[in-house]
Amino acid sequence: MRYWLMKSEPSECSIDDVLAMPKQSVAWWGVRNYQARNFMRDLMRPGDPVFFYHSSCPEPGIVGLAEVASRAYPDETQFEPTGKYYDPKSSREAPRWLLVDVRVKCKTRLITLDELRAHAELSTMRVLARGNRLSITPVAPEHWQFICARLLGLPS
DNA sequence: GCCAACGTTGGC
DNA sequence: GCCAACGTTGGC
């Protein structure tokens, strides 16, 4: 089992938007980066725990706990010619972009980016790395445990 | 809206 | 396969 952090812009799809969906689950559409795609395709498995993160907003940070809810499958938005996620180089026969379903388990208090950076124990988190632009990053087990136990006060 | 960082594209 | 130009991400 692997741990993940997945970024979503709340103006596009917030954690509340997902909680309002049937089964509190959403297809994680719109990933157009090969490394992030490969994480979904090669490493993500149903049940993997996920930090739900709000990005490109006034207070970026972790806002909830979620889990991977499917294996990877083609992202329909790549086939929609009028959509902003359309990829003319992709085809149904050889889909270029994949996604997984993500199910929100609960909201948490907001753990801001500033708070994450303030803890030396988290200094090597991939999402905090200078210049990181990946919308999906692996989370080391010790980082997951630290955030859940020390920052959220959840029983381990 | 700025801009650092870095991924992608395409000419050679 | 190199690398300059360009595009995108995302915090600030």
Q: Can you tell me which residue has its alpha carbon closest to the C1' of nucleotide B8?
A: A33
- pLDDT, residue A133, reads 87
- Nearest nucleotide to the CA of A134, by C1', is C9
Query: What is the tally of structural domains in chain A?
Result: 1
**Domain assignment of residue A156, yes or no:** no
Q: How far is CA A17 from CA A5, A25, A48, A51, in A?
A: 18, 10, 21, 16
**Domain assignment of residue A38, yes or no:** yes
From the CA of A87, how many Å to the C1' of C5? 21
- Nearest nucleotide to the CA of A131, by C1', is B5
The DSSP line for A29-73 is TT---HHHHHIIIII--TT-EEEEEE-SSSS-EEEEEEEE-S--E
CATH code at A49? 3.10.590.10
**Domain assignment of residue A35, yes or no:** yes
**Domain assignment of residue A53, yes or no:** yes
Residues A110-134 pLDDT 10s: 999 999 999 999 999 999 998 888 9
A78: containing domain: 3-151
From the CA of A1, how many Å to the C1' of C2? 39
**Domain assignment of residue A68, yes or no:** yes
**Domain assignment of residue A8, yes or no:** yes
Q: Can you tell me which residue has its alpha carbon closest to the C1' of nucleotide B6?
A: A131
- In this prediction the pTM is 0.94
Residues A52-106 pLDDT 10s: 999 999 999 999 999 999 999 999 999 998 888 999 888 898 899 999 999 999 9
